[in-house]
Amino acid sequence: MRYRVAAARAYISGETPADLPERLRAVTAPTLVVAGAQDASAGVRPVLAVAGLFPRGGTAVVAGSGHFPFVEQPAAFRAAVDPLLARALG
């Protein structure tokens, strides 16, 4: 996969709402934030920080994956996500 810095900057050029942390703290649904362990774009640290804002937030770090764990490690991604979905749908 080729990474283009200019394209990434254009994609994420919007301003983050100042009240985003408060908005995330208001989400009461179980929330899972997934990261790739080798994500060179975002890294794991921000994922952990975002997940910590949700009252019922959790994290899954997918080994052997970069920024797109659902593409790079689909079986591991499903193993991380399926239990949350099963609880939500069960």
* pLDDT, tens only, 10-20: 777 778 889 99
Q: What is the DSSP letter of 83?
A: H
Phi and psi torsions of 63, nearest 5°: -65, 150
Instruction: Check if the beta carbon of residue 51 is closer than 8 Å to that of residue 33.
Output: yes
**What is the rounded average pLDDT of the residues 20-28?**
96
Tokens of 90: 């069960």
Q: How far apart are CA 28 and CA 57, in angstroms?
A: 9
Task: Note the pTM of the prediction, 2 decimals.
Answer: 0.78
The gap from C-alpha 59 to its chain's centroid, in whole angstroms, comes to: 8
Residue ranges of domains in the chain: 18-89
pLDDT in tens, 26-80: 999 999 999 999 998 888 999 999 999 999 999 999 999 999 999 999 999 999 9
